[in-house]
Amino acid sequence: MTRRLPRSFATLGGVLLAAALAVAVGERPPASHDAAARVARRHHAAATDRAGARLPGRVVQVIDGDTVVVQLDDGAREHVRLIGLDTPELHESAKLDRDAARSHERREAIQVLGARARDVTAAALDGRRVELELDVEVRDRYGRLLAWIWTADGTLFNETLVRDGWARLYTFPPNVRHVDALRAAQADAQAARRGFWGDPHPPWTEQPRGRTHRGRGRRSSP
């Protein structure tokens, strides 16, 4: 004769089984998700490890005139430092103090220019599709991706920002792929007195000295 378990035991067993399954699913994502994430990470690491690579994405944040955040099409989100130029410092930092001491200008005057440069970059790039062109040295000492930024219409934004007078030439080997274009852009901006070059005695225009990566002998952007 077969004995049937009381209904309460059957119900309890079902609850325990469901709880165990829920915990298991919550603690470990599906194997296919793990594999896809690993492939994406490998793809991104490979793409950002070769000079000349073009990485498509969208600008999702503008931090200041020369630094943006880009959501790449491969899923990675990168802080990106524009190669070959420097804009006035906007945020409180040791660099702002150094620039003020070097140029003998008030920190507030430099920050006003920094805000203007940030607004120009935001107007051109924020929310827009871009391509990041990498050079020989891919990252700076802060871990930021170093890039030449191309807009959807094929314009090199690094050159545009310098030509409009809201960035100065700030370039060091080995990342010099478009340095001639930037040098010509700065000469044009100075001759036309555009941007901060419109001031007879523009603040913050002395060429800063480059910094060297410790132990590597390479310079990086500020």
Q: Is 194 helix (H, G, I), strand (E, B) or coil?
A: coil
Residue 135 — left, alpha, or beta (φ > 0 → left; ψ -120 to 50 → alpha)?
beta
Closest CA to 55 of 133, 128, 127: 133
Residue-level pLDDT at 52: 75
- pLDDT at 76 (0 to 100): 97
Average pLDDT over residues 126-132: 98
* Confidence at residue 159, expressed as pLDDT on a 0 to 100 scale: 98
Q: How far is CA 28 from CA 39, 42, 85, 190, in A?
A: 18, 21, 46, 59
pLDDT in tens, 53-112: 899 999 999 999 999 999 999 999 999 999 999 998 777 677 766 776 777 777 777 788
* Mean predicted confidence (pLDDT) in 185-213: 75
The angle, 0 to 180 degrees and rounded to 10, between the axes of the packed helices 94-103 and 107-125 is 120
With 80 as the cut, is the pLDDT of residue 133 above it?
Answer: yes
In the chain, the domains with their CATH numbers are: 53-207 (2.40.50.90)
Three-state DSSP class for residue 68: strand
| Residue 14, pLDDT score | 52
pLDDT at 126 over 50: yes
